[in-house]
Amino acid sequence: MSGKGERLTIGVVAATLTPLRPDGAPDVAMLDAHCRRLLGQGCSNIVLLGTTGEANSFTLAERREILTGLVASGISPGQLIVGTGCCAIADTIALSRHALSLGVARLLVLPPFYYKKVSDAGVFEAYAKTIEGIADERAHIYIYQIPQMSGVDVCAALVERLYEAFPQTIAGLKDSSGDWAKTQALCRALGDRIDVLVGTETLLVRALDAGAAGCVSATANVNAAGIAELFRRASSGDATAGVEAQVNGVRAAFERYPMIPALKAYMAARSADDRWRNVRPPLAPLGQKETDELVAAVATLDASARKQGAGLPKR
């Protein structure tokens, strides 16, 4: 249960890519079509402007424009979770207030991530000042735990302290640490009070058993139906082995390459739309040889799963 007294986010959440035009500007029309496809394939919600969405490669103005454009296109604010975390607390507050003004209440908030080896007390104070600065009872904050990128480890004890201090605002946690022992501890300590969402579908079945609400997945961009089917089966007690093998295999195939360029290259190949290959520096597009290898590997995994009768929905 979240701090608001109910679970707000359940199931498979897609950490969406941000399509770009050749000049590097966000392409909101492509993003809208992509989000609709993901929701149609079984995702419960969309994380906009997270790590997979290259959020920290955009200016504050661009981040506002992307969210404003997507909501204006007709995507329901209630289906969105938007990343608002920045190094400067005032920037996080500004993006969070903008999201709330559009009706987007779920905010995925990184801790300030430039300084390393900071204390738990300092991270607590950063979140406290953010919540006090937002000053809006509608806000549902999801703490973003991704220490391999941020360099800041938000441990279970710190999340629990934040929840106790702000029970009406701290609604969830996205744990992308990839450390099962830590994830399990988070689920068991907090899963009955806030929405614990794991950052990879490879931990989904175990995490649900431990008390998680679902997962936020980058590879949902290309395998939403398979991951959604895995969640459905795990939640209903059906056999998961065949679907889980395909889902884990697809994830592993993409993890052999830089994840965001690989996802975009695959999208370009599947859609025959090379605009999908565009990334912002310092990321670089995946090479054609690697793209061909990736597409072939995923096709082999899909064919094997269908041959074994895994019952996977079409992409």
Active site positions, annotated: 51, 114, 144, 174
Question: Which residues have C-beta within 8 Å of that of residue 312, sequence separation ≥ 6?
Answer: 225, 226, 229, 243, 246, 302, 305, 306
Question: Which residues have C-beta within 8 Å of that of residue 145, sequence separation ≥ 6?
Answer: 153, 154, 159, 173, 174, 175, 176, 177, 186
How far is the C-alpha of 94 from the C-alpha of 133, rounded, in Å?
Answer: 9
How far is the C-alpha of 182 from the C-alpha of 174, rounded, in Å?
Answer: 12
Amino acid code (one letter) for 4: K
Name the helix (H) or strand (E) containing 150. Answer: helix 147-150
Please report where in the chains the tokens 């007294």 appear, as a residue.
5
Handedness of CA 61, 67, 68, 70 (dihedral sign): positive
Environment class of 151 (CB within 10 Å of its CB; exposed 0-12, middle 13-18, buried 19+) = middle
Phi and psi dihedrals of 82, rounded to 5? Answer: -115, 135
